[in-house]
Amino acid sequence: MRHLTWPRQRRLLKRPEYVKCFDQGSKHFTRNFILFGLLQPDRPSFKVGLTVSRKTGHAVTRNRVKRVLREFFRLHQDKVDLPLDIVVVPKRNLDPKSLNLALATDELLPALKHLQRKAAESSAERT
């Protein structure tokens, strides 16, 4: 069985990476999240960034939201086939206390498929 680690190479770390994804990426809205996806053909795998604002709650609450989202991507990393930059932004209506892995999976798995499909279509149009 393969180890399901989440290495540093799978994270968006710098502000320009986030800004590029926000400006040039495609958006997908779910009930509790906004996902931005940008195809990066020069990279072998995908990267994920999380943006959780203070409006979500105190530091403990924000860190819990990020922990659940990171765990979702760690467990479902084999479902992302394209080299995408993905930024996840929780909406204000998200109840952090009710957020668990099952809720994140129900919402984000179809959104990931949609982002990949949209990125594949846009790359096919460019060629």
Tell me, yes or no, whether 71 lies in a domain.
yes
Tell me, yes or no, whether 30 lies in a domain.
yes
Please name the amino acid found at residue 70: R
**Residues in contact with 62: Cβ distance below 8 Å, sequence separation at least 6, in sequence order:** 52, 53, 54, 56, 96
Q: What is the pLDDT of residue 1?
A: 44
Q: How buried is residue 30: exposed, middle or buried, by Cβ count under 10 Å (0-12/13-18/19+)?
A: middle
Show pLDDT as tens, one digit a residue, over the chain (127 residues): 456 778 888 899 999 999 999 999 899 999 999 999 999 988 888 999 999 999 999 999 999 999 999 999 999 988 888 899 999 999 999 999 999 999 999 999 999 999 888 888 876 776 6
Tell me, yes or no, whether 127 lies in a domain.
no
Dist CA 72 CA 102 (whole Å): 9
Q: What is the pLDDT of residue 49?
A: 96
CATH value at residue 73: 3.30.230.10
Q: Count other C-beta atoms under 10 Å from residue 59's C-beta.
A: 9
Dist CA 66 CA 62 (whole Å): 6
Tell me, yes or no, whether 40 lies in a domain.
yes
Give me the domain span that covers residue 57. Answer: 10-121
Q: What is the pLDDT of residue 66?
A: 95
